Homo-oligomer: A and B are copies of this chain.
Amino acid sequence: MTETAVPPSERTRVRRVAENASYDSATLYAIVDDAYLCHIAFSDDKGSHCIPTACWREGDHLYIHGSNGSRMLKRLTESEVCVTITHLDGLVMARSAFNHSMNYRSAMIYGSFEKVLDEAAKRSTMEAFMEKLAAGRQAQVRPGNDKEYNATTVMRIALAEAACKVRSGPAVDDAEDMDWPVWAGVLPFARARLAPQTDAACSLPAPDYVLGWQDGSGKAA
């Protein structure tokens, strides 16, 4: 993981609560790697659209995929986009109503998507996606065939013009509110992994990434 700090562009310079902004790759990569979904903003003749889609990272690019027939994927090659990932970490309970806040980690990436045209690169990054979902599973499933790969578009956007914004820690109250008689603190959220649900038609033993799903040991490194 590189730790280059990329200077903000005119689009990515955070102006509001600028002390929460970050432009280093390590923060960006960690936010992307913790996500299964991103939201993509793009425009066409019908207006602005905000589409959720699965994503993963390889090196300094964020990848998405979809059917060749997808309207969104067609549009994405035609315009500049903004890809945003947000993790909500908690509700911040301050002593005054207007100092309430949320703890979160967000990343915004500006740029253009390009199709992954090289067939080997396309297959290898789809396998990296599977590896992120469940380490070791790619070798177990019925692999994609030529027809399936040919019907699928893989696209990527450089993690170059990007900004992160992170809030963590306790409530920040004004000095004159500190004695107000109300509980203050943080009510934290996390993404929980519930018990795996084995398919009704499946009588096979669960592999390691299923057995370890709930305690996190089944997660790809």
Contact = CB atoms under 8 A, between A and B. Distances in A.
B195 A188 contact: yes
A194 B110 CA distance: 33
A40 B86 CA distance: 12
Contact of A97 (B97, B130, B195): B130
Interface in A59-75: 67, 69-71
Q: How large is the interface on A (under 10, 10 to 19, 20 to 34, 35 or more residues)?
A: 35 or more
Contacts of A171: 199
Nearest to A110: B47
A52 B90 CA distance: 15
Contact of A102 (B48, B54, B102, B142): B54
Contacts of A46: 10-11
A138 B97 contact: yes
Contacts of A83: 50
A126 B98 CA distance: 10
Interface string A186-221: 111111111111111110111100100100000000
Contact of A93 (B96, B137, B177): B137
Given A93-B134, A97-B126, A191-B192, 20 more contacts: A15-B71, A16-B69, A39-B41, A39-B86, A41-B48, A41-B49, A47-B79, A48-B82, A49-B82, A50-B82, A52-B106, A90-B194, A96-B143, A97-B141, A98-B144, A142-B182, A183-B205, A184-B201, A186-B199, A189-B194
